[in-house]
Amino acid sequence: MNIQKALNKICEKQHLDYEEGLDLFRAMFEGHLSQAQSGALLMGLRLKGETGDELGAAVQVALERARLVQGVKGVRIDTCGTGGDGRSSFNCSTAVAFFLADMGIKVVKHGNRAVSSSCGSADVVEALGLPLLDDPAKVEQELSRTNFAFLFAPHFHPSFAGIAPLRKELGIRSIFNLMGPLLNPARPTHQILGVPLESFMPIMAEVLKKNNVQSAAVVHGAEGFDELTPCGLNRVIFIRDKGLKGETIDPEALGFRLCRPRDMVCKDREEALVRQKEILRGTGPGAMQDMVALNLGLAIHLLDSKVSMPECMDQARVLVRAGLKNLRVC
């Protein structure tokens, strides 16, 4: 699609269709657009509001250039968020991933270093002595060894190196900030995907549905977190059988005590790692344990929808209070 025609269309608040998006993002990744054109495209999409087709096209183009993982079969789950909630919270999603792996479930965690949290998933994994995988061929071996494989995003998406200077120069949120959780090169069958704004939920869910995930949940946590929190009502869109269903998760109704957002905050990387290790040992602040249990319970429910949500939450609370039993990371 002609870039000037596309920019005019976006300026008139008209959405690009999927094929138009494919053309434009392929041109961007291949260096056929100038920096000014690429910047205008990203800014225009944000001001207009990105759609599921536009995001889906960008994701497809990025996956075409990714180092995809081959040969991993069966159920595998990812727990991640877009980041950007500005909450400086401890890394809940990585703790959930470790508990799932401890249960014998294959976890393909796709992530990077800290963006808005005190300590990013890669920082946690590295500090606990597990490898940041850099080769698709190593993923199956690591899953066989520990049920946990951490796919360090920069190693699996080399094409993003060419986009990085543009993103840094713009310095604002763009469609690329939404893409990360949708680009797992091991293509998980199940996924929890967190977003900091409720308005992002429908387009993220639409892309997950089109990517044929078996069961997933897009979550927007109470008080603006990109994970479920025990701070109040949480919004969720479930993706199952190629359908979407919005629900509210009330932690009080599920037996959790309400807490304040500051109860999940860590002032720096060192405190975040201390809290992570405590939680994995079955100790640590009650509010943080509850946050992990909430998200773990949701993951268990995604993996087996026949078990009710209250039962899944009860199971998750027991697991979190007991700490890891099999996975040696702390």
CATH number at residue 15: 1.20.970.10
Q: Are residues 235 and 113 in the same domain?
A: yes
Domain annotation covers residue 307: yes
| Rounded percentage of the chain residues whose pLDDT exceeds 70 | 98
**Residue 84 confidence (pLDDT):** 73
What does the pLDDT average to over 201-216?
Answer: 95
**Residue 115 confidence (pLDDT):** 57
What does the pLDDT average to over 6-30?
Answer: 97
Q: Are residues 318 and 241 in the same domain?
A: yes
**Residue 261 confidence (pLDDT):** 92
**Residue 33 confidence (pLDDT):** 96
Q: Are residues 18 and 111 in the same domain?
A: no
Residue 85 has pLDDT above 80, yes or no: no
Domain annotation covers residue 167: no
* Cβ atoms 24, 5 nearer than 8 A: no
- Lowest mean pLDDT of 80-89, 233-242, 317-326, name the range: 80-89
Q: Are residues 13 and 110 in the same domain?
A: no
* Cβ atoms 237, 217 nearer than 8 A: yes
Residue 48 has pLDDT above 70, yes or no: yes
* Cβ atoms 299, 238 nearer than 8 A: no
Give the model confidence (pLDDT) of 49-80 as tens digits.
Answer: 999 999 999 999 999 999 999 999 999 999 99
Domain annotation covers residue 33: yes
Q: What pTM was computed for the model? A: 0.94
**Residue 149 confidence (pLDDT):** 98
| Rounded percentage of the chain residues whose pLDDT exceeds 90 | 87
Q: What is the mean pLDDT of the chain?
A: 94
Q: How far is CA 218 from the centre of its chain?
A: 9
**Residue 212 confidence (pLDDT):** 84
Q: CB-side exposure of 93: number of CA atoms within 13 Å?
A: 34
Alpha-carbon Rg of the chain, whole angstroms? 19
**Residue 330 confidence (pLDDT):** 59
Domain annotation covers residue 171: no
Q: Are residues 145 and 246 in the same domain?
A: yes
Number of structural domains the chain divides into: 2
Q: Are residues 214 and 313 in the same domain?
A: yes
Q: What is the CATH number of the domain that holds 81?
A: 3.40.1030.10
State the pLDDT confidence band at 90, using cuts at 50, 70 and 90: confident
The domain boundary residue, chosen from 29, 49, 69: 49
**Residue 37 confidence (pLDDT):** 97
Residue 87 has pLDDT above 80, yes or no: no
What does the pLDDT average to over 171-188?
Answer: 94
Query: What's the domain range around 8?
Result: 3-49
Q: Are residues 193 and 302 in the same domain?
A: yes
Q: Are residues 316 and 192 in the same domain?
A: yes
Q: Are residues 14 and 127 in the same domain?
A: no
Give the model confidence (pLDDT) of 264-319 as tens digits.
Answer: 988 888 999 999 999 999 999 999 999 999 999 999 999 999 999 999 999 999 99
Domain annotation covers residue 173: no
Q: Are residues 261 and 318 in the same domain?
A: yes
Domain annotation covers residue 169: no
Domain annotation covers residue 106: yes
**Residue 114 confidence (pLDDT):** 63
Q: Are residues 222 and 93 in the same domain?
A: yes
Q: Are residues 231 and 312 in the same domain?
A: yes
Residue 116 sits at the vertex; the CA angle it makes with 78 and 176, to the nearest 5 degrees, is 65
196-to-25, 32, 95, 141, 228 alpha-carbon distances in Å: 25, 32, 19, 34, 11
Residue 117 has pLDDT above 80, yes or no: no
Q: Which residue has the higher pLDDT, 1 or 82?
A: 82
Domain annotation covers residue 71: no
Give the model confidence (pLDDT) of 127-178 as tens digits.
Answer: 999 999 999 999 999 999 999 999 999 999 999 999 999 999 998 899 999 9
